[in-house]
């Protein structure tokens, strides 16, 4: 059942763009390692986990060559060491304190950790993320860190509003930061099962798809 789901998602991506321009991340939280193995065998290379302990458990159990784990959930600073160097990309950096801790741990581990900055575009109390109005000053405060590599932005739009408007805004914020701060931010992590086609149309490079691949939780 899983492989047809994956094929269907890939077909939808192809209908929007060239497949190799998009990194499809299978959100495998609360799903067994056996499903990751099946999806990897069917060609899916990137998997996203939301919870640190589950991330570590799966990463230690199953990590064949060519498989990339992404950390996409809220990352407590006290658990940073468990993720740095093991995640291909941390999508959810939302504070100076967290960025500083990742940089410190990466320095100790002698790695360069790739990260995305999470925005809270809807200013929702239930979600993490840097406020849009603060994003320029936030970037200026963390650009001095030498052991993290900021690759772009991530966002989860409000569920009850038109996602396209938020995807457009995220792309425009990225473009503004690149121009204003003279930096490169090639990645936009946006779009999930319900809206990833719209996200691709508006410039997503990474889409986080769970239910459409693995089924409901």
In a domain, 69, yes or no: yes
Q: Name the E strands within 28-157.
A: 46-49, 68-71, 89-93, 113-119, 148-155
Provide the residue range defining the domain that includes 131: 48-203
User: What angle do the packed helices 33-41 and 52-61 form, to 10 degrees?
Assistant: 60
In a domain, 158, yes or no: yes
In a domain, 75, yes or no: yes
The residue written with tokens 């000053």 in the block is 137
Length of the chain: 217
Cα separation, 135 vs 41, whole angstroms? 39
Using alpha carbons, select from 209, 213, 210 the residue that is nearest to residue 197. 209
In a domain, 65, yes or no: yes
Q: Name the E strands within 20-111.
A: 23-27, 46-49, 68-71, 89-93
Neighbouring residues of 128: CB distance < 8 A, sequence distance ≥ 6: 74, 92, 94, 118, 120
In a domain, 35, yes or no: no
Residue 20: band (very low, low, confident or very high) from pLDDT cuts 50, 70, 90? very low
The total of structural domains in the chain comes to 1
User: Is the pLDDT reported for residue 144 higher than 80?
Assistant: yes
Could you report the per-residue pLDDT of 83-104, keeping only the tens digit for each? 999 999 999 999 999 999 999 9
Residue 1: band (very low, low, confident or very high) from pLDDT cuts 50, 70, 90? low
In a domain, 23, yes or no: no
Cα separation, 68 vs 196, whole angstroms? 20
In a domain, 90, yes or no: yes
Q: How many C-alpha atoms does 73 have within 13 Å on its Cβ side?
A: 17
Please give the average per-residue pLDDT across 6-27, as a whole number.
77
In a domain, 106, yes or no: yes
- Name the pTM for this structure: 0.93
Instruction: Tell me the CATH number at 81.
Output: 3.20.20.10
């Amino acid at each position: 059942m899983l492989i047809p789901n994956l094929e269907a998602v890939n077909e939808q991506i192809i209908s929007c763009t060239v497949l190799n321009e998009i990194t499809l991340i299978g959100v495998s939280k609360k799903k067994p390692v056996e499903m990751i193995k099946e999806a990897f065998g069917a060609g899916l290379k990137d998997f996203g986990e939301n919870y640190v302990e589950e991330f570590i458990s799966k990463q230690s159990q199953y990590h064949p060559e060519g498989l990339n784990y992404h950390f996409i959930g809220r990352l407590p600073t006290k658990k940073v060491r468990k993720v740095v160097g093991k995640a291909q990309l941390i999508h959810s950096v939302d504070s100076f304190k967290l960025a500083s801790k990742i940089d410190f741990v990466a320095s100790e581990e002698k790695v360069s950790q790739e990260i995305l900055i999470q925005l809270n575009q809807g200013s929702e109390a239930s979600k993490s993320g840097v406020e849009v109005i603060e994003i320029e000053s936030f970037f200026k405060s963390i650009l001095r860190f030498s052991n993290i590599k900021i690759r772009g932005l991530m966002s989860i739009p409000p569920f009850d509003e038109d996602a396209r408007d938020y995807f457009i805004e995220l792309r425009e914020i990225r473009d503004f930061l690149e121009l204003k701060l003279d930096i490169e931010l090639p990645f936009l992590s946006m779009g999930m099962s319900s809206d990833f086609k719209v996200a691709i149309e508006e410039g997503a490079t990474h889409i986080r798809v769970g239910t459409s691949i693995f089924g409901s939780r």
